[in-house]
Structure 1
Amino acid sequence: MTDKPRWGIVATVAEPAPLVLAFVAHHLSLGASEIHIYLDEANDPVGEALDWLPPVHVTRCDMDYWQAVAPRRPRRHNNRQSINATHAQSVCNLDYLLSCDADEFLRPGSNVEAQIAEIPDWATWTKVFNLERTMVRGVPQNSIFDGAFKVHYQGRDDTPLRTSDLAPMGFTGHAAGKPMVRTKIGMNIGIHVPRHGHIKDRVVPPHYPADQIELIHFDGLTPLHWAGKFIRQAAKTPDRLAQLPPFRIAQWRKIAACLNDDAALRGLYDDVNAYDTARLIQLEEDGYVVRERFDPTAALQSIFPGHSVDLSPKHFDSLLRPRIDQWLRTARKHGVL
């Protein structure tokens, strides 16, 4: 490894452009040497905004790409993410590669090089744990990145972070972290852990838990975005819905009942992922929440000078809505709705 390790990020994206541009700008501002973006929808126009950036490597996942890397295009999004991350590892010029989603950002101020220097030689990867964004009930959302961050995950149904039966463990998304792997050793990179052999092997390679860097996960940039994850699954892999944990199935049923009522969807989102001010203050005092601002505006202006990126929820949802409507039509054809 060189004196100054080269690190980068890989993500498979199918998101509105403001999120993808913020993801790229933020991580370049933290010192990423390369960012590998795989466009799940090969004709995604965000690719044109990224092609000219030398540190950003855009791969359009079209038929030619899938024929080159896999027997066929996997139906499940998670499987496509894994194949893409493993492919990026094989073509990158990095010492370490972090695989995460476009709604996950390294916490501002993260010193990735210091973290890498701490990883012992025996560890082939490090797990980067995640916080999760939460909202303040009754406070208008002006940016898709507004909110506070839940920092402790208890893994029990008596966690103080619990808001309802729809989020029994306190987090609405995952609490498993994401892998940052040593490159050049040929691991298959799964969503949360890599393997030396087949991605379904039970043996997980030895890892070192990161203690200097964290991810912040925006599990639903807006209520529509949060609902959209379920709607997409209903459209793309409806058979998987029945295999979700019971609380996820309950979330989906509630969402399905709110699809034609924006106010009801906002209320459901707040029930699952928001606290009133007094509760938030108590959680902060107890160390379960941090209230710090995440604002990628400066990074966006630096990386994309002269390009105005609208981070308002209204604009974000206007870009998301055509995809949501398409998924809804497909889900209804499947009889899921």
Structure 2
Amino acid sequence: MSTSPIWGVVATIKAPAVDILNFVAHHLELGAAHVWIYLDAANPEAKEQLKPHPQLTVVRTGDNYWQKTRGKKPPMHQPRQSFNVRHAYNRAKKVDWLLHIDVDEFLWPDRSITEQLAELPEECLVARVRPAEAMASIDDSDVVHFKSFIADSTLRNRLVAEIYPNFATYLKNGFVSHVAGKMFLRTGQKDMAIKIHNVTQNGRQNPGQVELQDVALLHLHTTSWEQWMQSFAYRHKKGSYRDELGAAVPEDQGGLNLHKLFAHLAEEPDGLRQFYEEVCVATPELRQKLESLGLLRSHRLDLDAKRREHFPGFVD
């Protein structure tokens, strides 16, 4: 391992071309040496921009790809993501670390990612980055406000109850999406069984795991009521609100997972809207609560400017 580790990113993406290029440009700007993009649906506009770039590998995962690599296409996107990460990991010979994230997730380091990776002990094969979840803006500002991960597990439930009085029982860390974050994987390791949030090697889960303290994974899970509603049905059936995921509090202790909670709220007048307004919107009241507890992050992502810098030929 060199003293200056080289890192890369891999993502399986089904999104408009502008979102794909924003995602790639942001991580190139941060110093990613290579980015692997697995297109989960045909996107000739994005592919035209990505394919000539020397730091990018773009793979269209159509029927031929799945027939050749797995015999058939997995019906759920989670197994497709896991397979593609393994596919890229086995080919990532020129990077020391590989991070799997989604198109709506953006690394945001407080200091150099390379520095942070260089400090990890040799036995660390997994470096976890915790998320910060975006809240929907109430104005036209280009600042995006995020709720941070609560690192102290002894305080987490009390703080969530204080911040979200009506829905704390159903929320892990106050988040609507995942709290596990994503992982940098040290490359060149044998027998790595890679999934979205965890890895196993010879029966050991997340061997040598270290949590990186000076970087967040900004997750644009919710940006507006319209965007949340547009994604809701898919997430409820197959995504981050699907029924197989666990509850923040077990059902025999009064909890419900988000799948059941949202099914119940959808039957009430304005039930989902009430949840959205309390949990997902960056109101002055919620921002003040989060800030007083040291849990508010506010950032200008400047994604359009980064996209124009790295993909000047793209016209939105």
Q: TM-score range by the shorter chain?
A: 0.7 to 0.9
Q: Could you say if the C-alpha distance between residues 257 and 303 of structure 1 is closer, same or farther in structure 2, counting changes exceeding 3 Å?
A: farther
- Work out which of the residue numbers 154, 163, 175 in structure 1 matches 2:179: 175
Contact persistence 2:265–2:271 (CA under 8 A):
no
Partner of 2:96: 95
C-alpha distance in 2 between matches for 1:38 and 1:118: 30
1:27 Cα shift? 0.3
- SS of the equivalent of 2:221 reads coil
C-alpha distance in 1 between matches for 2:62 and 2:272: 34
Partner of 2:310: 303
Q: State the AA in 2 paired with 1:296.
A: L
Matched, 1:293 2:303: no
Matched, 1:232 2:234: yes
1:228 Cα shift? 4.0
Matched, 1:280 2:287: yes
C-alpha distance in 2 between matches for 1:190 and 1:157: 31
Report how many aligned residue pairs link the two structures: 296
Contact persistence 2:125–2:206 (CA under 8 A):
no
- SS of the equivalent of 1:120 reads coil
Q: State the AA in 1 paired with 2:60.
A: R
Partner of 1:5: 5
Superposition TM-score, scaled by structure 2 size: 0.82
Write out aligned runs for 1:326-337 (5 A).
none
State the percentage of identical aligned residues: 30
C-alpha distance in 2 between matches for 1:251 and 1:141: 29
Q: Could you say if the C-alpha distance between residues 193 and 20 of structure 1 is closer, same or farther in structure 2, counting changes exceeding 3 Å?
A: same
Q: State the AA in 2 paired with 1:189.
A: I
Q: State the AA in 1 paired with 2:262.
A: Q
1:194 Cα shift? 1.3
C-alpha distance in 2 between matches for 1:101 and 1:286: 28
- SS of the equivalent of 2:99 reads strand
Contact persistence 1:151–1:288 (CA under 8 A):
yes
- SS of the equivalent of 1:54 reads coil
Q: Could you say if the C-alpha distance between residues 256 and 78 of structure 1 is closer, same or farther in structure 2, counting changes exceeding 3 Å?
A: farther
C-alpha distance in 2 between matches for 1:99 and 1:232: 21
Q: Could you say if the C-alpha distance between residues 172 and 255 of structure 1 is closer, same or farther in structure 2, counting changes exceeding 3 Å?
A: same
- Work out which of the residue numbers 147, 150, 159 in structure 2 matches 1:150: 147
C-alpha distance in 1 between matches for 2:17 and 2:146: 23
Cα shift readout 1:95-148 (whole Å, capped 9, x = no counterpart): 100111111100155511001111101111111111111235xx23566xx521
For the aligned residue pairs, the C-alpha RMSD in angstroms reads: 2.9
Partner of 1:323: none
Contact persistence 1:223–1:265 (CA under 8 A):
no
Q: State the AA in 1 paired with 2:49.
A: A
Moved more, 263-272 or 119-128: 263-272
Superposition TM-score, scaled by structure 1 size: 0.77
Partner of 1:243: 244
Contact persistence 1:66–1:73 (CA under 8 A):
yes
Partner of 1:121: 122
1:255 Cα shift? 5.5
Matched, 1:190 2:195: yes
Q: State the AA in 2 paired with 1:180.
A: F
Partner of 2:132: 131
Write out aligned runs for 1:315-326 (5 A).
none
Partner of 1:314: none
Write out aligned runs for 1:30-179 (5 A).
30-43=30-43, 45-92=45-92, 93-107=94-108, 110-136=111-137, 139-141=138-140, 146-153=143-150, 155-156=156-157, 158-159=159-160, 160-162=162-164, 164-165=166-167, 168-169=171-172, 170-179=174-183
Contact persistence 2:198–2:205 (CA under 8 A):
no
Moved more, 186-195 or 28-37: 186-195
Moved more, 103-112 or 79-88: 103-112
- SS of the equivalent of 2:5 reads coil
- SS of the equivalent of 1:94 reads coil
- SS of the equivalent of 1:179 reads strand
Partner of 2:250: none
